[in-house]
A and B are shown apart, each in its own frame.
Chain A
Amino acid sequence: MSSVELRNVWKMYGKVIACQDVSWKCEDGEFFSLLGPSGCGKSSSMRMIAGLEEISKGDVFFGEKRVNDLPPRDRNVALVFENWALYPNMTVYDNIAFPLWVRNMPKDDIDKKVLWAAKFLDLVDVLNQNVRGLSGGQQQRVSIGRAIVREPEVLLMDEPISHLDANLRLRMREELEQILRQLAVTTIYVTHDQVEAMAMADRIAVMDVGLIQQIGTPKEIYYNPYNLFVAQFIGEPPINVADCELLHENGHVRLTSDSFNIKFEQDDVDKLSCYTGSSKVKIGIRPENISISASSKPNSIDALVGFVEVQGERNVLSLKLKGGEEFLVVVPADVRPKVNSNIQIEFDTKYLHIFEGESGINISYQLPAGITA
């Protein structure tokens, strides 16, 4: 087992830049997730780590060892492919045993290991079946079995459950989590599903268009997004965003727009008070950080109820603000205002983010008091 580090890694396909100056380090034994939408460079990064793609610029280290020039077979990584990539002509047993055959391991040792992996993954019953006849979930487990059976230095997983249907995906995610915790191997997990990454990873690297947007623990990323992209990509329902103006007044900051007028008090944020950039900013506030006020207060905001979605233990209100923005608010199940009624809402300013208008960078970047990483 070892750590994996990318230092200033670039990947170009002809003129197309897939990865731009990517640097991160996944520690020994850590569950590290690469998260981002299609085309963000996460799969390219993974394939470079595995040795399936040339590294255009930069270095990849396993521990202290620079692995750029090593072919895949010498890197001792295991890869669980998105489409599982099972050997179509072989049985489950043969698929799992393949990496061990390749290393000329004695038959009895192979047998022991394959049986261990099969028991671990609940595949004992289908060991002698050809993989073509298996269900999606089973095929995925065979793919994992093949990866773990040789105890690799690094385990790479490329969207392993994205091709399963929704129910199965949830179950497999839980199973995967369990399996991987037990194995305690350095794992790098690529996905576009932020729920997966948030639930499973120790740390996440969020990527977009080839660039690293933010690296941090799930909590850090959720409560303290570095920029607008991260804030919007993480979280379900997604964060509410609105344009407004930032005005400096004595001792505090005021955020104004057609929809609201908020006096923003953050005593310990020097950043805000010495912010000298454009006054055009965006605010971001998550649906669960908005509450309905019973009565009119200084920072209350008028809103028109558009739609009420009942989700069982909570409701999600779709509101329209005076300036035309549509905001989502998460409320307890017993709160059910009438459609087309006017209500007052309030932002919990502790969780209010302010993003610079042009760059999207979070200028209120810090952890709210009381939240520990």
Chain B
Amino acid sequence: MENRTDTVSERALSAGELSSRARGRTAGRIIRILALVAFSLFVLLPIFYMFMTSIKDQIEIRASGALFPQKGIHLINWIYAWVTEPLHLFLRNSTIIAVFSTILVMIIAVPTTYAIVRFKVGGELLPSMILGGYVMPPIVVSIPIFFMIKALGLANKLPGMILVHTIINTPIAVWLLDSFVRTIPKELEEAAWIDGYSRFQTLMKVVLPLIRPGLIATGIICMILSWNEFLLALLLTTDPRGAQTFPVGISRYQGQHGLQFGEMSAAALSGVIPIYLIVFIFQRYVVAGLTRGGVKG
């Protein structure tokens, strides 16, 4: 009854509506529905079109660009996608690289973030450098990384890509985790110390469970970033039996066979749908991670 919630959105009323009742409310609702439709169309149309293309007949694709298949549904593209290129290898590689690099990233980033927040290691400089690491165009480090990996003999090998992605994504992970770690009140940790935990144990047993949403968000984001990474994978991998990843694999569909849109669509969707599923399941965490980091600036 006297349930006063705090924010404008939770009350599901837009601000202007409070001052003018009846007329304002319906107009507002119409605008909101229109916005919802517009936004949905904006986001979904291209993806939907890609899906439609993947089930069109190949001749039809070459002839017209209509939204819906005019000549029936064909699954041939999907078969070709998996057959003409070793899509399963691309997906395998990307999965392995994403998972393992993310594990490494988390192992490195968590203690680092904790140290930065609690011990203020590196002072002002370190956080700026880390942010700089994220903002830097990959092209800047592409040449040295290329030479380094070649020198280590890890070109086109999975461990090589895992290493590269770990290096690239750790700054981002630290930046994301930072705002989560900061929410833990010091008193909790002090209580743990009094109870006899060492600093490290406190980190593992007290802090980590409390920032679980942040860990999930960061992990998911890093996995997706690794999965999507293109430039370095392009430079460093040449062969799907080696470590060639999914994004590079897709680009091959255009090189080798001319523009086979049907197959490309099917191939792209094969790698993209798993991501979409993950996003759908974990969206609350991911958004929290992104907006927390974003809000801090």
Contacts and interface: CB of A to CB of B under 8 A. Distances in A.
Contacts of B4: 82
A44 B2 contact: yes
B18 A39 contact: no
Interface in B1-57: 1-2, 4, 18-21
A69 B23 CA distance: 12
B19 A39 contact: no
A82 B4 CA distance: 11
| Prevailing SS type, chain B contact patch | loop
Tell which of B1, B4, B18, B21 has the most Cβ of chain A within 10 Å. B1
A38 B18 contact: no
A115 to B, nearest CB: 27
A73 interface: yes
A184 interface: no
Contacts of A38: 2
Contact of A72 (B1, B2, B18): B18
B1 A71 contact: no
A18 interface: yes
Contacts of B19: 71-73
A81 B252 CA distance: 64
Contact of A18 (B1, B18, B21): B1
Interface residues of A, number: 14
B18 A43 contact: no
B20 A39 contact: no
A72 B4 CA distance: 18
Interface in A14-32: 16, 18
Contacts of B2: 38-39, 43-44
Contacts of A69: 21
Contacts of B21: 69, 71
A39 B4 CA distance: 12
A67 to B, nearest CB: 12
Interface in B33-87: none
A56 to B, nearest CB: 13
A269 interface: no
Contacts of A73: 19-20
B219 to A, nearest CB: 35
Nearest to B19: A73
Interface in A21-55: 38-39, 41, 43-44, 52
B16 to A, nearest CB: 11
A71 B20 CA distance: 6
Nearest to A83: B4
B1 A16 contact: yes
A117 B18 CA distance: 27
Interface in A59-112: 69, 71-73, 82
Nearest to A41: B1
Nearest to A18: B1
A71 B23 CA distance: 11
Nearest to B2: A43
A18 B3 CA distance: 12
Contact of A44 (B1, B18, B20): B1
Interface in A171-201: none
B18 A13 contact: no
A367 to B, nearest CB: 34
* From A18, A43, A71, A73, residue with most partner B Cβ within 10 Å: A71
B1 A13 contact: yes
A231 B60 CA distance: 86
A69 B2 CA distance: 22
Interface string B186-222: 0000000000000000000000000000000000000
20 contacts: A13-B1, A16-B1, A18-B1, A38-B2, A39-B1, A39-B2, A41-B1, A43-B2, A44-B1, A44-B2, A52-B18, A69-B21, A71-B19, A71-B20, A71-B21, A72-B18, A72-B19, A73-B19, A73-B20, A82-B4
Given A39-B1, A39-B2, A71-B21, 12 more contacts: A13-B1, A16-B1, A18-B1, A38-B2, A44-B1, A44-B2, A52-B18, A71-B19, A71-B20, A72-B18, A73-B20, A82-B4
Interface of A: 13, 16, 18, 38-39, 41, 43-44, 52, 69, 71-73, 82
Those 10 A-B pairs whose CB atoms lie nearest each other, nearest first: A18-B1, A71-B21, A43-B2, A73-B19, A39-B1, A71-B20, A16-B1, A71-B19, A39-B2, A13-B1
